[in-house]
Amino acid sequence: MEKISKELIGASSIPIILSILSKSESYGYEIIKKVKEISNGKLEYGDGTLYPVLHKLEKKELIESYWKIPESGRKRKYYTISNKGKKELVSQKENWTTINQIITNLWKIEPTLT
């Protein structure tokens, strides 16, 4: 199974993380597991990929974080999408839909032989 390029992972990380957090609050390791599960293992985030993006999103006020001790008893930093983040996610969806349509249309065009 071929992995997705680092460049594409980097470009898609913000809409992916915002989409996950738009469904429910989550903590880092859980986000990593969800990304791997949703992509059937084709996309894997490591700590070095995920946490810098989470910090960037928090700095831009697109997400918020707080510490919580769940039933497991282990203190974890949870992330949730902010209202500003929800608006950004709408914009990201529009951008990615447009890019997807462009690429799909380009790949449908039959190449001409010269």
Residues in the chain: 114
**Model confidence pLDDT, tens digit, residues 59-78:** 999 999 999 988 878 899 99
Instruction: Report pLDDT for 113.
Output: 59
CA distance 10 to 85: 18
Q: Which amino acid is present at 61? A: E
| Whether this model's pTM surpasses 0.85 | yes
Domains of the chain from N-terminus onward = 6-108 (1.10.10.10)
